[in-house]
Copies of this chain bind each other. A is one copy, B any other.
Amino acid sequence: MQIAQTRLSIDTAPREIKEITAEVAQWTERQRISVGLLTLYIPHTSASLLVQENASPAVRRDLDAFLRRLVPEDVALYRHNDEGPDDMPAHIKSALTQTQLSIPVTDSRLQLGTWQGIFLLEHRASPHRRALVLTLIGDKA
């Protein structure tokens, strides 16, 4: 059994739902693990992670529209408004999605489903450089 860890840097656009499957898969494949578990962790409170359908861009737009309706940017609803009207909704959207994802690995490959991609959700209205910590535990091939 082995463990490997790395930190990636991801640049986001405002409110972007950004697919990061390729970057994550490339690092994972280089570790040459026959059977393992990859864990992604995002050390931020206004951006989050999600496994979601990656074939249709309309799915991402509908998910974004749903989250905006559910968590409106209306300062009358929140007390924590000093970092802008998008900040408290960003914390809530992060709470409703994931800070961490674990995905099985077999023969160096992520066991994602046919329609699954890994996404980083930027919940702020401005671009950010986000960190992502990957930890891979498993048997070497």
Contact = CB atoms under 8 A, between A and B. Distances in A.
Nearest to A131: B113
Nearest to A61: B79
A82 to B, nearest CB: 8
Nearest to A43: B113
Contact of A3 (B97, B114, B115, B138): B138
A6 to B, nearest CB: 10
- Per DSSP, are chain A's interface residues mostly helix, strand or loop, or mixed? mixed
Interface residues of A, number: 60
Contacts of A43: 111-114, 116
B45 A62 contact: no
A133 B111 contact: yes
A27 to B, nearest CB: 14
A140 to B, nearest CB: 11
A97 to B, nearest CB: 6
Contacts of A112: 43
Contact of A104 (B2, B5, B56, B63): B5
Contacts of A66: 71, 77, 92
Interface string A69-83: 011000001111000
